[in-house]
Amino acid sequence: MQLKDIKTTILGTTGAGKTSYLLGMYAVMQTGVQGFTLSAKDMDMGLDLIERWEQLIALKGEDRWPSPNAAMIEHYAFDFSYGFRPIQGLELIDYRGLALSDRTNNQDVQELTGYLAESKCLFLCVSGEHLTDKITPNTVREIKSDRMNQFIQQYISNEQKPTKENPFPVAIIITKYDLCHHRDKQEVIEDIKKLFQALFTPDSGWLVMICPVSLGKELCNDPDNGNIIPVNTHLPIVFAVYSQLRTYGINQKNERDTISKNLDKVNNQNLMKWLKGKEVKDNSLKIREIDQEISTIEENMQLLANELQQVSLFLSGSEVTVGV
């Protein structure tokens, strides 16, 4: 089983921590969780990511951090595997967060919006540095949440029309959570829900995960010298794959039910059963194949769901627990 690549866009203003997150996520996912690993399709690109990560760990001082992205979009393609067997491709882009505030006639803005319109999953990066206290109207300006909401409206909501049956996965990643972890977690979640209200409305079809991440607890006091020990950086990727498997599983079940209904119809009529002997055999085989695939999907989903127990998940605004 190898599913189509999930195109994912990370939206977040400059300094939100997109590049740092990407490096931390890849480093953790290379080692893996529960036997799931991520590896760059292009080995040189993988090496480049790891070198930049090692610089972050080894260097002290502000030079350890990645430079702000330039006006060129970087593309990353990964394989998400279980026991080294690829089950899902994943594509991500990294870009200058300032593009979110630029006019659409800029070339990188056009490339970004084109990619966004084709994306099957969205990561929203919100920096914990702007959530240290209760949000104010100023927070919207700092995080650029209104701009992010506009991008979602224009390029996802209009183009892809999420529904209850076919929900659209969005991970709201609170980066640099070390800077706001003194606050009550539920209060921070309520603030996030206020900033992105439309994603939490009834019957809207958004499947939203709110996920705090940090590259290290010590960074809140000393970002340039504190120890780098990533927390939760794997969860958004686990969520992206989990939601894709969930949708694929539902589609497979529907297909099996349709074939099975037709088969029952034919089997109930003796003459038809005889006339369509080959079709009956083929369809029975097909059902067995789909059943096998569904059980593999469900096993994988269960393993991924175990990882997601600790985060808050909402479907059309109602809190849900992940399962199979």
What residue ranges bind Mg ion (CB under 5 A)? 18-19, 69
Please give the C-alpha separations between residue 99 and each of 11, 51, 91, in angstroms, as whole numbers. Answer: 10, 26, 19
d(CA 141, CA 2): 41
35 scored as a contact of ligand GTP (CB under 6 A): no
Contact call for residues 208 and 200 (beta carbons, < 8 A):
yes
- Single out the segment in contact with ligand GTP by CB under 6 A; choices: 8-16, 36-44, 79-87, 183-191: 8-16
Judged by beta carbon distances under 5 to 8 A according to partner kind, the member of Mg ion, ligand GTP, none in contact with residue 178 is: ligand GTP
Letters for 130-159 (x = contact with ligand GTP by CB under 6 A, - = none) are: ------------------------------
Please give the C-alpha separations between residue 324 and each of 168, 250, 295, 306, 316, in angstroms, as whole numbers. Answer: 17, 10, 10, 10, 18
Judged by beta carbon distances under 5 to 8 A according to partner kind, the member of Mg ion, ligand GTP, none in contact with residue 16 is: ligand GTP
CB of 176 to Mg ion, least distance (A): 13
195 scored as a contact of ligand GTP (CB under 6 A): no
Contact call for residues 143 and 13 (beta carbons, < 8 A):
yes
Residue whose CB is less far from ligand GTP, 72 or 320: 72
CA-only gyration radius of the chain, Å: 22
Contact call for residues 5 and 214 (beta carbons, < 8 A):
no
212 scored as a contact of ligand GTP (CB under 6 A): no
Residue whose CB is less far from ligand GTP, 128 or 162: 128
CB of 235 to ligand GTP, least distance (A): 14
Letters for 155-194 (x = contact with ligand GTP by CB under 6 A, - = none) are: --------------------xx-xx---------------
Element (H, E) at 317: none
Judged by beta carbon distances under 5 to 8 A according to partner kind, the member of ligand GTP, Mg ion, none in contact with residue 215 is: ligand GTP
Give the nearest residue (CB) to ligand GTP. 97
12 scored as a contact of ligand GTP (CB under 6 A): yes
Contact call for residues 93 and 74 (beta carbons, < 8 A):
yes
- Single out the segment in contact with ligand GTP by CB under 6 A; choices: 7-15, 135-143, 183-191, 286-294: 7-15
Q: Which residue has the tokens 């080692």?
A: 31
The burial class, CB within 10 Å (0-12 / 13-18 / 19+), for 15 is middle
- Single out the segment in contact with ligand GTP by CB under 6 A; choices: 25-33, 65-73, 116-124, 184-192: 65-73
What are the φ/ψ torsions at residue 59 (nearest 5 degrees)?
-80, 150
d(CA 134, CA 146): 17
Q: Identify the CA nearest to 143 among candidates 180, 183, 195, 86.
A: 195
CB of 179 to ligand GTP, least distance (A): 5
Residue whose CB is less far from ligand GTP, 122 or 207: 122
CB atoms within 10 A of CB 208: 27
Interface pick for ligand GTP out of 11, 26, 38, 97 (rule CB under 6 A): 97
Interface pick for ligand GTP out of 37, 40, 87, 96 (rule CB under 6 A): 96
Tokens of 69: 């992205």
CB of 321 to ligand GTP, least distance (A): 27
- Please name the amino acid found at residue 138: N
